[in-house]
Amino acid sequence: MKKLLSFFLMMGLGTSVALAKDIKTTIFTTQPQMHCINCETKIKKNLRFVKGIKDIQTNVPNQTVTIKYDADKTSIETILKAFKKIGYDARTVKENEKIEADASAAKCKM
């Protein structure tokens, strides 16, 4: 009985390790820059359909979009293509990089 119980316990642990997801978080910035709630909404509404994206957080003052995604289902390249589809050129932000808001950039037309 103990051997059977041990067997099922080991199988359960093996299965949980095999099903573990590779969740990553990456910070992006966009060009043109976000200026308002409409810019944030456009990004969130469209990127949520990319397979594997779990969470999207936007921050207009910092000009960042933080995306949590399942790396087994999508990649940074796929996310960058999704940004391009909705009219934004995006790039990843390096750790501790500060993004300056471009006051001379054209405001959105929403």
pLDDT in tens, 1-40: 666 556 555 666 555 444 557 899 999 999 999 999 999 9
DSSP symbol at 98: P
| pTM (whole model) above 0.85 | no
Tokens representing 93 are: 């932000």
d(CA 27, CA 89): 14
68 band by pLDDT with thresholds 50, 70 and 90: very high
How many whole angstroms separate alpha carbon 100 and alpha carbon 62? 8
Find the helix packing angle between 37-47 and 76-85, rounded to 10°: 130
Question: Is pLDDT of 109 > 70?
Answer: no
